[in-house]
Every structure is written in C-alpha cells, then in structure tokens.
Homo-oligomer: A and B are copies of this chain.
Amino acid sequence: MPSTEISTEIPVMYFDTDAASVVHNIVYLRFIETARTLLAIQIGMSFEEIARTNIHPVVTRTEIDYKRPALLGDTVRINGRISEWSGIRFWCTFEVVRPRDGALLVTCKQSLALVQMPQGRPVRLPAGFPENFSLP
C-alpha cells in the first residue's frame, strides 16, 4: 500500500529569493505544491487520467505560517502527508525544514477537492482514498 506521506528536498535558487535576501513568502507554496504533487503521484494520481477526465485536484484553502526564512544556498526539505479526508475534500499538512540546522521554517495546511472542469463541480474522492488516487 503506497505511503500517504512524502519528504523531498529542494535547493534554493536565486529566483526563489527576494531583495530582503530570503526566500520570498509565495515561493514556499511552490515548494509545497511540488511535494504535494509528488505525493499525489505516489498514491496513483496520473496526469493522463486528469487529461482524459478533465477532473483536476484543486486547492480550496491554504493556511501557512512563516517562522524562519530560508536563504540562498540553503536546501529545504518539505515533509507532507494527507491528514484528513471526507467525501469530497481532503487536507494535507506540510512542514518546511532546513536539514543543515534542523530549523522549522514553515508550517502549512491545505484543503483540496477534485473538481470536474470546466463546470467546476466537485467530484467524490476515489474509493480507497487516500491510498488510492486513481480517477474513475
């Protein structure tokens, strides 16, 4: 059974930083989306199925707390997991840490839904979710 947890490292690039010499606040959400996508693929999400069904995973809410900044030259680690789920919605929880000194940089919680596009209609989570993300 695939794990509903993910952990991935990303090196900080110039384009991730801003003139305050830290990683820009919006960029952590890009890091988190990368981790979330790798997690979704791990439990069976397929972009072919998404293209075929036009059902897309959609973020419906984000809460993010910034505790300490990452710097140019850092590598950050994003730990994420699916923490709750109901009929049409699931929640993911993330933390961004800096392995070099163990600092906790960011915590984040996101709720997502599967949405039939272009109508924007929510669709029930697949049977067996979260171990199974295969679209019908």
A interface, CB within 8 angstroms of B: 11, 13-15, 17-22, 24-26, 29-30, 33-34, 37-38, 46-48, 50-51, 56, 58-66, 68-69, 71-73, 117-118, 120
CA distance A89 to B15 in the complex (A): 21
Q: How many copies does the complex hold?
A: 4
Are B20's CB and A18's CB within 8 A? Answer: no
Are B51's CB and A33's CB within 8 A? Answer: no
With contact pairs A60-B65, A61-B65 given, residues A13 and B25 touching in the complex (Cβ less than 8 Å)? no
CA distance A72 to B50 in the complex (A): 10
Interface of A is mostly: mixed
With contact pairs A33-B15, A33-B26 given, residues A63 and B63 touching in the complex (Cβ less than 8 Å)? yes
